[in-house]
Structure 1
């Protein structure tokens, strides 16, 4: 295993940061192209359809994290057979899940519209969009596994290549299908579908080392009961942890609505700052996942400590830089995101919370990466249960006294407690390598 240096951490992290830049760009192009049709309904249909599918696919985000931790450990242990078998298992899960979504699409979409009803026109256009996009479900979910595998073996330039290709082709086809051929909402869906499947093909090519030597079709290993049980345990814990975290953020949005439309809109604007924070700091957490996982697989506790320290230093640098940027440039960014004067004023009032958020939350985000690499999924789950319980207490006590400031304080407490609880459990990561 090569030395863990600052250069190595940046080599893993920076391509992830760059690849994340393409995600909001795609959403902007989708909206902008449909907006040229001069009608509100197509914009709403594309937005609603994208939210429905992203919510469905989000459940399988564990496949990315679980694959990274398990593959990094087998890679560190110099076990290429298991490295390939893990990817095969993850791809089988992704493929089966995607096919299930295709078969159950009528039930899923009926439930989605019952939860988020829309006008007859928007719902009709959204159904047209979903009827095309759902055929990309196997590709999208399998790409989670491929991304996890590439991160684990430090091939994050491959992640960048897949993202740039998929989102770049999607944007190009958006223009051709919608503005050139006049396909409207269906054109946006078709563009995404083609991009997803070609992105999967590129991803499989970049993972070709996993298939070398035929280990991917070593079915006795792929379907080994103990290894499957371990994979299911890790992924199940991560999924529960993610559901709890998503529930906490969803409750933040819903409770913000109680303070009026202006406050709700201001919170929505400021949540974009948190999204920028996630995009900016993901790379360093992913570096921790890969390097810690390899150190655990190689049974080198000292390397776990070194990986956590070096990646954590860069994460802290990024968090401080983002916090300063939000403090100084936040008012200008708010003005770009909204033109409504009352929303601008409210967002400025709550801006200090998001300026401090990166520094408050960096420990929890970096420790997430460390725990994923060490496959301490049960500890992640338990830390999240404790943190959400404290968050609920904060929600019950702070907003009634401080209003929306109390709501933001509760969210900061959630991330702070996550960091503290996982920090207390960190020694287990080093023991996992020992």
Structure 2
């Protein structure tokens, strides 16, 4: 459990750096989307696209269990050198992803009507939110399958492939954004269409990369159709898979409730507020996805060690990941302290939105230090496949911290909202750290 294990530090960065770079491309692309829309004439374009994106992102985030469970399960299968089990994990995940995506498409009218009525906002925000989400919803099967593919590649120590896959997908999205919005003048509809095409492009690229790099490992599974069907839909394996995903789903649902509440409550405070919060939330995603790179590396290292039955490697990996998580959090806080106002003015040229966002910038400066621990321990518990612990932590943070704090501070408007969110993120980290310290020698 030596902290000065240079090889383990190196292993962490071999996994983490590609994931940090690939994770950051997602919020950077969101910032590009926001900047393209934010420089249009009226704030309701940005507000509408933000609410619309949240309606779709709510589903993809809610289905984050597809990525998490796939990473943890495949990492443990990788540690056991079980190629058939590894391949089945990928196949089951893709089948579940398409089933969920197609179900939501079939129920889209019902879903969008209810979600938009809860979202609130002005008539213009409602109009553009519906326009955006009605296009994006058709990309859900691909978006959810991409979660499985990314999780599986990461669990198999292919972080570099994950990096190139995400970069390629986001580059397609970026180029189409510029073409459709600036070139064709499609406004909100252009951003949604660009993302839709990029999601299916990512799916095709991802499957192609898997076949190219893992053909020898997965080909044996498809030699017998009967064997493939029997193993894929094996009752005990499916029950175990859905039990694991049930707990991750509950955990993610709580997280999603908090994010949606932030967006909807901002919409009720006015168009300028929801537009400013859209900028700040993109900054938060930039922070979270960057810190998730360390957490993703911890997932793989802890999962592999768990599969090998090496407890000492679990403890060493967690200690090293904790150290680097703290370092990266400090860097993020300094970055937004020094350049926050510049970043905001670059993204939007609407004076009221810029001014309002700048008034709330100190929350973004503080959040890396408050929230980094919950990202890291989420990764640890994904690798250990102890989803019930993650579920319980999130329930405490959501209903014991977020909503009570917001209720107490609601008279402070948007500041009260961000204060509640900050306490929520801190509580997640504290509860998971407490559990880890009590049980770290039992894993």
TM, length-normalised to structure 1: 0.84
Aligned to 1:213: 219
Q: Distance in 1 between matches of 2:360 and 2:38?
A: 31
Q: Which residue of 2 aligns with 1:150?
A: 153
1:278-293 aligned at under 5 Å gives the runs 278-293=288-303
| Structure-2 change in CA distance of 1:175 and 1:238 (3 Å) | same
Instruction: Describe the shift of the 1:415–1:8 C-alpha distance in structure 2 as closer, same or farther (beyond 3 A).
Output: same
Farther off after superposition, 267-276 or 334-343: 334-343
In the aligned structure 1, how far is the partner of 2:304 from the partner of 2:170? 30
Asked whether the 8 Å contact 1:394–1:410 carries over to 2, the reply is yes
Report the more deviating stretch, 308-317 or 217-226. 217-226
| Aligned counterpart, 2:144 | 141
Which of 200, 203, 208 is the matching residue for 1:200?
203
Q: Secondary structure at the match of 1:75?
A: helix
1:307 matched to 2:310? The reply is: no
Change (3 A) 1:386 1:231: same
Matched with 2:442 is 431
Partner of residue 327, structure 2: 317
Structure 1 partner of 2:93:
90
**Paired position in structure 1 for 2:343:** 333
Please report the TM-score for the alignment, with normalisation by the length of structure 2. 0.83
Alpha-carbon distance between aligned partners in 1 of 2:292 and 2:52, rounded to the nearest angstrom: 26
Taking the TM superposition and a 5 Å limit, the aligned residue runs for 1:9-48 are 9-30=12-33, 47-48=50-51
Q: Distance in 2 between matches of 1:241 and 1:374?
A: 16
Q: Is the 8 A contact 2:35 2:346 kept in 1?
A: no
1:50-89 deviation digits (Å, cap 9, x = unpaired):
3332223332111111111111111112211111111111
Deviations 1:248-291 (A, max 9, x none): 34445566788888877765554443222112211001111111
- Contact 1:376/1:429, CA 8 A, preserved across alignment: no
1:70 aligns with 2:73: yes
Taking structure 1 as reference, are residues 325 and 187 closer, same or farther at Cα in structure 2, changes over 3 Å only?
Answer: closer
Contact 1:178 1:187 in 2 (8 A): yes
Alignment pair present for 1:246 and 2:249: no
Mark the runs of 5 or more structure 1 residues left unpaired by the alignment: none
Q: How many residues align?
A: 430
Aligned residue among 402, 406, 412 for 1:395: 406
The range that moved more, 222-231 or 331-340, is: 331-340
Unaligned runs of 5+ in 2: none
What residue in structure 2 maps to residue 274 of structure 1? 284
**Distance change in 2, residues 1:36/1:235 (3 Å):** same
Q: Tell me if structure 2 keeps the 8 A contact 1:99–1:137.
A: yes
Alpha carbon RMSD of aligned pairs, Å? 3.7
More contact order relative to length (CA 8 Å, sep ≥ 6): 2
Tell me what 1:237 maps to. 247
CA distance in 2, matches of 1:47, 1:264: 8
Q: Secondary structure at the match of 1:425?
A: helix
**Do structure 1's residue 368 and structure 2's residue 370 form an aligned pair?**
no
Distance 2:404 2:192 in 1: 43
